[in-house]
Structure 1
Amino acid sequence: MTSDVTLSCSCGALSAKLLNVRPQHGFHASCDCDDCHATNNHHGVHDPKDTAIDLYQTSPSNLKILSGGENLSVLRLHKSGGLLRWYAKCCDTPMYNTMASPKLPVVGVVASNVDNPEALGPVRAQGFVKKDGKTTHKNMVGMLSRMIGRMARERISGRWRDTPFFDASTMEPVVTPYTLTADERTAAYQPR
């Protein structure tokens, strides 16, 4: 069964639709990495320190901006690169994570913005799980193998160019990424 779901930022100005939400087209996972929590901290989003952030990993071609595209903005946590962290500048809501290049076509949709999160199915993998002073991952091999398969299909089919995040002709982000300053990074990476 195929299902489309809508999502929006906290004020509703930026809205989008996720197409084909089903196991073959995406993967519901949770991430407890310091970068995901730092992103929430930077945006002033309540960040439960002991709870991972749920993400739905899919192909950017499965995401369509419905309204408020002018509110889409992006930041990098580090000068050295890393994920692009897309957010709604109208209300500072973290929305998506992508790689820095459209040639690696994957998007992590922040599940808390989805109108019907149950449609994403259960969390099937967990990254950066902290237990007894150690960090582990659960079911990540399955998630990564499926993600790589989806990315390969997107590349072969040419659908990787169908993305709201990158200009297909220049391969640059549609918005210039802002990189956190050293002081902003220090504030964002509060001890957990």
Structure 2
Amino acid sequence: MSTPHPIRCRCGQVRGALAFPDQALRLVCYCRDCQTAAHALGAPERTVDANGGTAIVASLQSNLAFTQGSDQLACLSLTDKGLYRWYASCCGTPIANTVRRPQMSYVGIVHSCLGESAQQVAQAWPGHFDVNPTHAKGPVAKPGFKALVGTLKIARFVLGARFTGRWRQSPFFRNGSAQPATDVRVLAHAELERARQSV
């Protein structure tokens, strides 16, 4: 059993840990929505790299636990059907992304709460694969066999959690329901357009 990896927002009010980090996978997402969310939260240079990529560690929500500051968790969504994008309201640190259905217990933990830098997170998870390169701002390798294998591995974890009921263990949803742990702020159209134009 591997040692849990610490989670911490920039100001330290939100803290927690990711269990079984050796089973998690690191990926870099270049999609327009991840870039837009980073601009909406402010200080995008702390989240996206020069090519517009956001380093994410993929795991299950049941592997994530907050030990301090869970009352500081806030949730943003770009649209009324988009991903839930969780962040620390105290300092704006992006924490994680989840889908709206808790049965799909995938969680993408943003690198900004896993270490001082994306490079430090890369040292903890040396292997990675790239996804959604269409909106990359520079040359990025096309998703290939490595991305396919990573995606299938994540899908296997999610299906396992669905069948065993582990999906009900989530810090982001209330009592195994589809009710988010906090109110979700959906960006107003003008706010969304401003963030998109900044990408």
Equivalence for 1:89: 89
SS at match of 2:51: coil
Measure, in 2, the Cα distance between the counterparts of 1:120 and 1:168. Answer: 32
Residue 62 of structure 2 is aligned to residue 61 of structure 1:
yes
Letter in 1 for 2:32: D
Contact 1:16 1:65 in 2 (8 A): yes
State the secondary structure of the residue aligned to 1:154. Answer: helix
Q: Which residue of 2 aligns with 1:30?
A: 28
Q: Which runs of 4+ in 1 moved over 3 A?
A: 130-136
Of all paired residues, the percent bearing the same amino acid is: 26
Long gaps (5+) in structure 1: none
Partner of 2:128: 124
Name the residue aligned to 1:107.
Answer: 107
**Cα distance in 2 for residues equivalent to 1:21 and 1:161:** 20
Give the CA deviation at 1:153: 1.0
Normalising to structure 2: TM-score of the pair? 0.86
Cα contact 2:73–2:86 (8 A) shared by 1: yes
How many correspondences in the alignment?
A: 189
Distance 1:107 1:154 in 2: 12
Secondary structure, in 3 states, of the residue corresponding to 2:143?
strand
Q: Deviations over 1:168-190 (max 9, x none)?
A: 25321111211000111011113
Counterparts of 2:70 and 2:30 in 1: how far apart (Å)?
28
Deviation at 1:57, TM superposition (A): 0.3
* Matches of 1:172 and 1:120, distance apart in 2: 33
The answer to whether the 8 Å contact 2:52/2:137 transfers is no
* TM-score (norm. length: structure 1): 0.89
Q: Which letter maps to 2:105?
A: P
Supply the RMSD in Å over aligned alpha carbons. 2.2
Q: Which amino acid aligns with 2:169?
A: D
- Native 8 Å contact 1:128 1:135 kept in 2: no
Return the structure number with greater helix share: 2
Distance 1:121 1:133, change over 3 A: closer
Higher strand share: 1
Q: Which amino acid aligns with 2:110?
A: V
**Per-residue CA shift, 1:122-154, capped at 9, x if unaligned?**
242101224889994343211211111001111
